[in-house]
Amino acid sequence: MRTMLHAGWIAGVALALALGIASLRADLPAATLLAVLGSVQADAALAWNLSGFVLPGVLVAVFAVALEAPMRAAGAARGGRIGSTLLLLSGVFFAAQGLLPYDLDDPDTRASQLHVTALSLSLLAFLPATALIAASVRRAPRWAILRTFGGVLAAAALACLVLPPAQWLPGVEHPAALAQRTLLALYFGWIALASAVALRAVQVPD
């Protein structure tokens, strides 16, 4: 179980490494949206879809499965299980983006629409998951940092979703790409924090 809990922080590292490697390509603008990296037209689409979408998503799902045991040990109620299940679904939907490449020439194809839908469902499942997980361990002292700092990360992620990028990034070139990277940093940042808290709770129970 401890090994599976490590999957939470590894997921964000995997995505960061995939982005770092992709940025080394001379023909790739720094502000490229992730869907473009794995699009039908991209040269290294398969490599990106596997390393940038499928692998991080699967790691999030693995972490969500392992998270239920330490939460239950901390006295989590039924809401915690619902939260971990939503987080599992979030990881699955994130991984699904890699199996549904976006078509830049025809965004109305079924695969393109499903790609966008998969990302939306991943984020929509993530936000209530954070609230349910935090609420379920509200009486566990060692989970306090997830309730406080994790709540800040989740609230910031919600703000990124609700507010148009140009509104909170005025004058910034390529605001959509920067907003996407900010949102993903908050998403994987919360999961990494939850991973660290859960690992500490397993090592030193309340």
Residues 6+ apart with CB under 8 A from 34: 52, 53, 97, 180, 184
Which residue's entry shows tokens 């999030």?
60
Cα-Cα-Cα-Cα dihedral sign, residues 29, 35, 41, 47: positive
Q: What tokens does 117 get?
A: 């839908």
Q: How many CA atoms lie within 13 A of 48 on its CB side?
A: 26
pTM of whole model > 0.75?
yes
**Cα–Cα distance measured from residue 187 to residue 73, given in angstroms and rounded to the nearest whole number:** 25
| pLDDT in 10s for each residue of the chain, 206 residues | 789 999 999 999 999 999 888 878 756 665 678 998 888 888 888 999 999 999 999 999 999 999 999 998 888 877 889 999 999 999 999 999 999 999 988 888 888 999 999 999 999 999 999 999 999 998 888 899 999 999 999 999 998 888 876 676 676 677 778 888 889 999 999 999 999 999 998 876 55
